[in-house]
Structure 1
Amino acid sequence: MKKILAISLAVVMALCLSVSVFAEERVVFDNPEGEAFSDLVNPWDFYGVGGFWGRAAANVLDITIDEVKAIATEGGAQFVMVFSGTNAGTPNLTFDFSDPQALAEFTVTDLGDGKYEAVASFDELVAAWEANGKTIDDIANLLVQPNYSDFKLYSAKIVTGDDTVEAAPVETEEPDSTETDGTSAETPADTGIVLALVPMAVAAAAVVVAKKRG
């Protein structure tokens, strides 16, 4: 019984110390049918937010520039889009078309249904931006240059946060080697009851440990 109580205590401690930080997704564009923008006709054209060059396609993302700045400041974010088209180069994520252009290249995955998923790093873009002598306060746009002809956008989102944070190691007390076979053997029913009553097991285990130390 003591062995099972010790195991139960270890499981509870592991659950308490294991911290999950789920990724947060900010959907900034969604059209299941796909959308081809009227002023995004060449592979080198662009879409985004901020109204760069007065383009209509530069104002299609559901996010403000202040929110973009906050995401860039926080770090660790990724821009993810699903699209279709004909490859003419590598898509880029940028804040504007300065010279030299500060950008982050997308990594593109073929989804096998005529669509592609592309992912770009905000951190990479910010590093290139700052290398050009700019600051986050200078950001006035968020733009995607698809470099695909016949481009249609289905979805775009900004993902922040990590999937998981590694749990701290859990130390468990070695079972008492003086226990007899009779006291250490438990039936499946006994085990199920103990695991089902975890809070009681924790309290009992604490008593057992206290008695040992006494």
Structure 2
Amino acid sequence: MKKILAIVIAMVMVLSLSVSVFAEEIVVFNNPEGEAFSDLLNPWDFYGIGGFWGRAAANVLDITIDEVKEIASAGGATFTMVFTGTEYGDSAPNLTFDFSDPQAAAQFVVTDNGDGTYTATAAFDDLVAAWEANGKTIDDIQNLLVQPNFSDFKLISATISTGEDAVEVTPVEDETPAEDETPAEETPAETGIVLAVLPMAVAAAAA
């Protein structure tokens, strides 16, 4: 009886999967109170990692340049920051590897959270594309920098999410098609992984 129950539970768990495979969120900065940096005084200043221009604010992220290169090479990653500040003009925050001219950067998409904080996200793929368009390679990366373009900037958190392009395992919805419709064809991305994992889960539960 216990084995039967274990098998049923295993089947339910596998069939209810709806997660991004291999997705990971790397916290590179966290201060719930918000932190202002002594040498990030102007909206066009910056923070990050790599020590650009010898600034203290350019060494506040908990990540190494080698790790940044790996993330940039893998593709599909995003950089998200939560912060407070005052909007300055029409310029969005920028994510960049360098402030050399011409500057290769990816713009953040900013959301007002309605509580005095903002959330902004930029895609590493956009940054890498702009970087390589300027004749640079991943091996040339020496910094990872954020230009807030907000006055009175205080950083609350910064995270890098990887695996955004990984296959998603999504349960098939229980819907009956109309008479003039044919059922949508199931794709390997929707069913293949579940069908591959199910026998192993059942076998493990029955052992």
Task: Give the TM-score category using the shorter length.
Answer: 0.7 to 0.9
Partner of 1:192: none
Q: CA RMSD in A?
A: 2.8
Q: TM-score, normalised by structure 2?
A: 0.73
- Per the alignment, residue 135 of structure 1 pairs with 137
Which residue identity is paired with 1:83? F
Equivalent in the alignment of 1:90? 92
TM-score by length of 1: 0.70
Correspondence 1:153-172 to 2 at 5 A: 153-162=155-164, 164-165=168-169, 166-168=189-191
Aligned to 2:190, what secondary structure does the other structure show? coil
* Alignment-derived partner of residue 188 in structure 1: none
Distance 2:65 2:76 in 1: 18
Which one-letter code corresponds to 2:99 in the other structure?
F
Residue aligning to 1:125 = 127
Deviation at 1:14, TM superposition (A): 10
1:15, distance to aligned residue in structure 2 (A):
3.5
Instruction: Give the deviation of 1:52 after TM superposition.
Output: 0.2
Output the CA distance in 1 between the equivalents of 2:140 and 2:31. 30
Query: Larger % of helix: which?
Result: 1
Question: What aligned pairs does 1:30-49 form with structure 2 within 5 A after superposition?
Answer: 30-49=30-49
Aligned residues: 166
Matched letter for residue 120 of structure 2: A
Match of 1:86, SS?
A: strand
In the alignment, is residue 149 of structure 1 matched against residue 172 of structure 2? no
| Residue 58 (structure 1) aligns with | 58
What is the alpha-carbon distance in structure 1 between the residues aligned to residue 191 and residue 110 of structure 2? 35
Q: Which amino acid aligns with 2:128?
A: V
- Write the distance in 2 (CA, Å) between the matches of 1:124 and 1:82: 20
Distance change >3 Å, CA 108–CA 19, structure 1 → 2 = closer
Larger Rg: 1
Distance 1:19 1:121 in 2: 23
Structure 2 Cα separation of the partners of residues 115 and 34 of structure 1: 10
Displacement of 1:23: 2.5
Aligned to 2:110: 108
3-state SS in 1 of match to 2:115 = coil
- Identity among equivalent positions (%) equals 70
